[in-house]
Amino acid sequence: EIVMTQSPATLSVSPGERATLSCRASQSVSSNLAWYQQKPGQAPRLLIYGASTRATGIPARFSGSGSGTEFTLTISSLQSEDFAVYYCQQYKNWPSTFGQGTKLEIK
Amino acid sequence: QVQLVQSGAEVKKPGASVKVSCKASGYSFTSYGISWVRQAPGQGLEWMGWISAYNGNTNYAQKLQGRVTMTTDTSTTTAYLELGSLRSDDTAVYYCARTYSGYDYWGQGTLVTVSS
């Protein structure tokens, strides 16, 4: 199975600053990569699919890039509601697999 | 609007089975698959499997093979997850999610607690 590794485990950033989250796949997933945001007590929310396409209703400050094995989620100017846990997921091969998550916290 | 509404919390004893439902509305049910994902307390997301609502084809996580069954009822636009031979480490919130490219709509989650 494809192993997804996210870094860092925790990222401390001040509101208004840029956050960059990384996700690495153990083998190529092409562009079959999604990003999710999860807040405590809530279901995950799809942010990005196809590595770089924003899902419906997702603000433009969220952007995704990469292909193959290296991917990045960038949040250009952090708002208070963006502090949460972020997961990447590959859906190229069965089983689909998630990264372990990056917790984005307020600095 | 698209909605996935799951059944309520369950408490089960080790060795028992649990069946969780996921009622879909607001879209063409058979045009999408449904995936099931679980999250143990304080842990990350674990993919459990996928079912095509069109023809019932399934793909399960290898570690759950033999204990998990996913089904759909197109007449009621409902997906079901059944997990048997429950163990304490099956305690988790179980989510269904509409599947296409990524999982764009999720149910609210169902807490399953396995305890003697």
> By the CB < 8 Å criterion, does B3 face chain A?
no
Given the structure tokens 């429950």, which residue do they identify?
Answer: B86
What are the pLDDT digits (tens) for B30-67?
999 999 999 999 999 999 999 999 999 999 999 999 99
Which among A105, A107, A99 is positioned nearest to A39, based on CA atoms? A105
> Cβ separation of B103 and A46 shorter than 8 Å?
yes
pLDDT reported for residue B49: 97
What's the pLDDT tens digit per position in A10-67? 999 999 999 999 999 999 999 999 999 999 999 999 999 999 999 999 999 999 999 9
For residue A34, the chain B residues in CB contact (below 8 A) are 101-103
Q: How far apart, in whole angstroms, are the C-alpha atoms of residue A41 and residue A44? A: 10
Q: Beta-carbon neighbour count of residue B65 at 10 Å?
A: 9
Tell me if B48 sits within 8 A of B103, measured CB to CB.
Answer: no
Nearest to B68 by CA among B77, B58, B78, B60: B60
